[in-house]
Amino acid sequence: MLWQKELPAADLVIRGARVLDPVEGIDARLEVRIDAGTIAEVAERIDANEHRVVEADGLILAPAFVDPHVHLRTPGREDEETIASGTAAAAAGGYCAILAMPNTDPVVDSAVTLAALVETARREAEVPVGFLAAITRGQRGEELTEMGELADSGAVAFSDDGVPVASAGLMRRALQYASTTDRPLALHCEEPTLSHGGHVHEGRVAAELGFGGYPSVAESVAVERDLSLAGYERGRVHVLHLSAAESVDALRRARVAGVTASGEATPHHLVLTDDAVRSLDPNVKMNPPLRAEQDRLALLEALRDGTI
Ligand SMILES: [Zn+2]
């Protein structure tokens, strides 16, 4: 379920934009009329009548995006992001819906915390927002949350994003419980005994700069494990922020084998490699880290063929 505040439905005519819609096969300079919030007409020339006119010369008009991986930092760090500011940013960037991760402070691991978020979203959210709840209490990887209760309270999926569920046994039980709620698990795949809290890809750049490396296999071994468990339990999983070619291969193979799995990649993993770390800009150190050119190309390929 998604929530937002009540907004008046718009009557608009948008003029001058390049209208792009890959699904409908449209790429042309067209005008679009919106009646009470619904697209009513797409044509070369539309009379505005009483509608407000938006001049959009030089702009692209396209179906809005959905971002399934957002950190609103609420509750706990409202100084960084609130539901109001995060959803306003989403709207400004062309997003019509977002899903927020539960690694806040407190973690969204109880129906009470989730209910408070839903209430705030109903008051503040500029675009529809949905909330994931944690897989484990406090995201400590020790005991499962009350998934049934959280699903009933509106959780759209479960995730310990930011940290992995390190125990395979616990992951198996999470898949079993999540299945009963008909919600997927969104998985941060990282084997902590291989990543060692690193932020730089294990390779030439890390070696030259003297950083402890975070190897691709620290991700792919966890992706392989979770996809195997999902196949075994017939669970539904979404693999978060893929970074390594080996992980992409694993996801592609699992999907071909019939596992109900999807995956995502971040824009920065699609356009940057660990070469960017040479700048020593702390913004390019992240988890999972920026990887090698062959990994970036594998992500692009997977995006094109629908694996991602
Ligand atoms: Zn995240």
Categorize the per-residue pLDDT at 249 as very low, low, confident or very high, splitting at 50, 70 and 90.
very high
Whether residue 197 is contained in a domain is answered as: yes
The answer to whether residues 27 and 117 belong to one domain is no
Q: Are residues 97 and 140 in the same domain?
A: yes
Structural contact between residues 3 and 156, judged by C-beta atoms closer than 8 angstroms? no
Q: Within 13 Å of residue 283, how many CA atoms lie on the same side as its CB?
A: 2
- Residue 22 predicted with pLDDT over 90: no
DSSP symbol at 106 = S
Ligand 1 centroid to Cα of residue 6, in Å, is 28
Say what angle helices 245-256 and 293-305 make with each other, to 10 degrees.
30
219 CA to middle of ligand 1, Å?
Answer: 15
Considering the domain boundaries, does residue 247 fall inside one? yes
pLDDT tens string 180-215: 999 999 999 999 999 998 999 999 999 999 999 999
pLDDT in tens, 89-141: 999 999 999 999 999 999 999 999 999 999 999 999 999 999 999 999 999 99
Give the per-residue pLDDT at 6: 92
Separation of 293 CA from ligand 1 center, angstroms?
A: 22
Mean per-residue pLDDT, 144-161: 97
- Return the H-helix or E-strand segment holding 97: strand 95-100
86 with 33, same domain: the answer is no
Asked if residue 56 and residue 68 are part of one domain, the reply reads no
Is the same domain home to 229 and 173? yes
| Residue 71 CA to ligand 1 centre (angstroms) | 7
User: Are 92 and 190 within one domain?
Assistant: yes
The tokens of 68 are what?
């399934």
Minimal CA–CA distance to 267: which of 238, 242, 249, 237? 242
CA of 255 to the centre of ligand 1 (A): 23
The answer to whether residues 160 and 39 belong to one domain is no
CATH, residue 42:
2.30.40.10
Token reading at 235: 């669970």
Asked if residue 3 is part of any domain, the answer here is: no
CA 45 to centroid of ligand 1, rounded, Å:
43
Domain assignment present for 2? no
Q: Residue 64: pLDDT above 90?
A: yes
- Find the 205 Cα to ligand 1 centroid distance in Å: 24
Q: Are residues 69 and 52 in the same domain?
A: no
Q: What's the gap in Å between 69 CA and the centre of ligand 1?
A: 6
160 and 298 together in one domain: yes
Using alpha carbons, select from 268, 267, 295 the residue that is nearest to residue 284: 268
Please, which residues have CB within 8 angstroms of residue 206's CB and are 6 or more apart in sequence? 198, 200, 212, 213, 274, 277
Q: Are residues 95 and 220 in the same domain?
A: yes
Beta carbons of 81 and 111 less than 8 angstroms apart: no
- How far from the centroid of its chain's Cα atoms is residue 1's Cα? 16
Compute the distance from residue 72 Cα to the ligand 1 centre, in Å. Answer: 10
pLDDT at 217 over 90: yes
Q: How many domains does the chain have?
A: 2
Tell me if 222 sits within 8 A of 277, measured CB to CB. no
Mean pLDDT check: name the lowest of 154-158, 195-199, 257-261. 195-199
- How many angstroms does the Cα of residue 150 sit away from the middle of ligand 1? 20
Q: What is the mean pLDDT of residues 12-41?
A: 95
Residues 225, 269, single domain; the answer is yes
Cα of 266 from ligand 1 centre, angstroms:
10
Is 272 domain-assigned? yes
Structure-token pair, residue 105: 């402070």
Residue range 51-64: mean pLDDT, rounded: 95
Q: Where in the sequence is the domain holding 284, given as residue range(s)?
A: 64-305
Give residue 48 CA to ligand 1 midpoint distance, Å: 43
CA 98 to ligand 1 centroid distance, Å: 13
Average pLDDT, the chain: 96
Q: Are residues 45 and 135 in the same domain?
A: no
| Residue 92 falls inside a structural domain | yes
Does residue 5 form part of some domain?
no
Per the domain annotation, does 4 fall within a domain? no
Write the CATH number for 181: 3.20.20.140
Cα(154) to centroid(ligand 1), Å: 20
Measure 241 CA to ligand 1 centroid, in angstroms.
8
What DSSP assignment string belongs to 242-293?
---HHHHHHHHHHHHTT-EEEE---HHHHH--GGGGGG--GGG--SSPP--H
pLDDT band (50, 70, 90) for residue 145: very high
Give the pLDDT confidence score for residue 173 in this predicted structure. Answer: 98
Q: Give the Å distance between the CA of 25 and the centre of ligand 1.
A: 33
The proportion of the chain whose per-residue pLDDT surpasses 70, expressed as a percent, equals 100
From ligand 1's centre to the CA of 103, what distance in Å?
8
